[in-house]
Amino acid sequence: MNPEENNMPVPVVELEASQLELVVSEKTIGSLTTNAKQIRELVQQALPKYDISNYSSDDIAKAKADKALLNKASKTLNDKRIEFEREFMAPFGEFKNVVTETVGLIKEAVSKIDVVIKQDEQRAKDEKTNSIKALDEVAQLEAIGISIERVWNDKWLNKSTSLKAVAKEISEKIVTITSEMETLKSFAEDYDVLVVRYKENLNLQDTVRYANQLKEQREASKAQAEDREEQKAAAEASAAPQTEQQAEAKPADVKTQEPEPQAEESSHHDIDQSEADAADAFADIMGQSAGMPKSAAVCTRLYEINATDDKFKELEAFMDNLGITYSNRDRV
C-alpha cells in the first residue's frame, strides 16, 4: 500500500556510515583484446624502409605516395582507438556520474547542518563577549580611558579560554598601560597631547618619538627667536651709534637733545598704527578679524594650519613683519 494514498508521511531514513561505503561487486580490468601490439611491431620493422636516406629528388612521387599511406594509416588507427576508448569507458563514466551526484547531495546536506552549527557558535561567542565586558577588570580599564576594543583579543572567545584567564590578561594590560602613561609624564610640557595619542595606538615607542619631535620643534623655534633678537639688537646698535663722549655728555646737553613730548607721542602713534595695519593684514590672510594684542611674555604654541602655498608665504611674511619667530619643519 502506498503511504501517500493514506496521507501518511514517508518515514525518513537516517544514514549510517557503513551504508555509504562503496562496494564493487564485479570488476574486470584489461579485458580488451586487440592486435595493437602486433601493429606496433609491424610498424617498427617497416620504419627502416621509410628512412629519408632511401629518397632522393628523383623519387618525389614515391615519397608523396608513401607519406599519404602512412598518414592515412595513422589516422585510421587513432580513430579506432578513440572509438574503442569511448565504448570501454562508458561503464566507468556512468559509475563516475552516479558517485559525483551522490557526493553533491551529501555536501548540500552538510552545508545546511553547518548553518545551524555556526549560528550556535555565534550565540556562544556573543554570550561570552557580554560576560567579558561585564568583568570588573574591564571597568578598571575603561576608568583610565581605554576601551575594551583597544585591547581585545579574539582568542578570548575560544571555549578553551576561561573568563578567569581573560580577566588576568586584562589586569596585566592595565598595569602595562598605567606604567607607560606614567612614563609620558616625564614630558610634562606635552603630556596632555601625548596621552591622547598614546590612548589611540597604545604604542609607547611611537608616542615617545612624537614627543621628541615636539621638543625638537620648540628648540629650533627658540633658537630662531634668539637669533632674531640678536640681529635686531645689532641692527638697533648700528642705526644709532653712541660715542663715549656722547655717553658722558652734560645733563643740560642731553636735555636739549630730548624730543618734545608732542613729537614723542606722535612717534608712538605712528608705531601703534603700523602694528594695527600689520594686524589687519594678518586678519585678511586668515579670513577673520584681529586686533593687536597687548604686550605679554613670549611663549611657544604649536598650530596645525591647512592652506595653499601662497597663503603660507603671505603668513610667513606677516610674521616676519611682526617679529614673530617660527620654524617650518614640513616644507619640502
Residue 268 predicted with pLDDT over 80:
no
**pLDDT at site 283:** 53
Residue 8 predicted with pLDDT over 70:
no
**pLDDT at site 1:** 47
Q: Determine what percent of the chain is predicted with pLDDT higher than 70.
A: 72
**pLDDT at site 37:** 87
Residue 249 predicted with pLDDT over 70:
no
Closest CA relative to residue 298, chosen from 263, 324, 261: 324
Residue, of 150 and 20, whose pLDDT is higher = 150
User: Across the chain, what does the average pLDDT equal?
Assistant: 79
**pLDDT at site 135:** 94
Sign of CA dihedral 27, 33, 34, 38: positive
323 Ramachandran zone, left/alpha/beta (phi>0; psi -120 to 50): left
Q: What is the mean pLDDT of residues 211-227?
A: 84
> pLDDT digit string (tens) for 133-169?
999 999 999 999 999 999 999 999 999 999 999 999 9
CA distances to 8, 18, 21, 22, 28 from 25, rounded to whole Å, are 36, 16, 12, 10, 10
pLDDT-derived band at 288 (thresholds 50, 70, 90) equals: very low
CA distances to 34, 43, 50, 66 from 47, rounded to whole Å, are 22, 6, 5, 11
Q: What is the mean pLDDT of residues 25-53?
A: 82
Q: What is the mean pLDDT of residues 274-281?
A: 54
Closest CA relative to residue 303, chosen from 222, 226, 198, 193: 193
DSSP of 45-94, one letter per residue?
A: HHGGGG-GGG--GGGHHHHHHHHHHHHHHHHHHHHHHHHHHHHHHHHHHH
Helix axis angle, 191-201 to 204-239, nearest 10°: 150
Residue 201 predicted with pLDDT over 80:
yes
Buried b (16+ CB within 10 A) or exposed e, 273-307: eeeeebbebbeebeeeeeeeeeeeeeeeeeeeeee
**pLDDT at site 266:** 46
CA distances to 24, 31, 52, 63 from 59, rounded to whole Å, are 59, 45, 11, 6
Question: What amino acid is encoded at 258 in this protein?
Answer: E
**pLDDT at site 292:** 45
Least-confidence region, from 3-17, 165-179, 182-196:
3-17
Ramachandran angles phi, psi of 283, nearest 5°: -65, -40
**Alpha-carbon torsion, ordered 63, 65, 68, 69, to 10 deg:** -110
Least-confidence region, from 158-162, 291-295, 304-308:
291-295
**pLDDT at site 153:** 94
Closest CA relative to residue 217, chosen from 282, 303, 323: 303
**pLDDT at site 219:** 82
Residue, of 27 and 108, whose pLDDT is higher = 108
**pLDDT at site 258:** 47
Q: What is the DSSP letter of 294?
A: P
- Which grid coordinates belong to 123? 550565540
**pLDDT at site 279:** 54
pLDDT-derived band at 217 (thresholds 50, 70, 90) equals: confident
Angle at 30 between CA 28 and CA 32, to 5 degrees: 105
Question: What amino acid is encoded at 194 in this protein?
Answer: L
Question: What amino acid is encoded at 16 in this protein?
Answer: E
Q: What is the mean pLDDT of residues 193-200?
A: 89
Q: What is the mean pLDDT of residues 21-44?
A: 77
Closest CA relative to residue 99, chosen from 28, 27, 20: 20
**pLDDT at site 226:** 83
Please list, in sequence order, all residues whose beta carbon lies within 8 angstroms of the beta carbon of residue 133, skipping any fewer than 6 positions away.
148
- Which grid coordinates belong to 220? 629650533
> pLDDT digit string (tens) for 42-97?
889 988 988 888 888 888 998 999 999 999 989 999 998 898 889 888 888 998 99
DSSP of 96-149, one letter per residue?
A: HHHHHHHHHHHHHHHHHHHHHHHHHHHHHHHHHHHHHHTSHHHHHHHHTT--HH
Residue, of 244 and 162, whose pLDDT is higher = 162
Least-confidence region, from 14-23, 83-92, 230-239:
14-23
pLDDT-derived band at 257 (thresholds 50, 70, 90) equals: very low
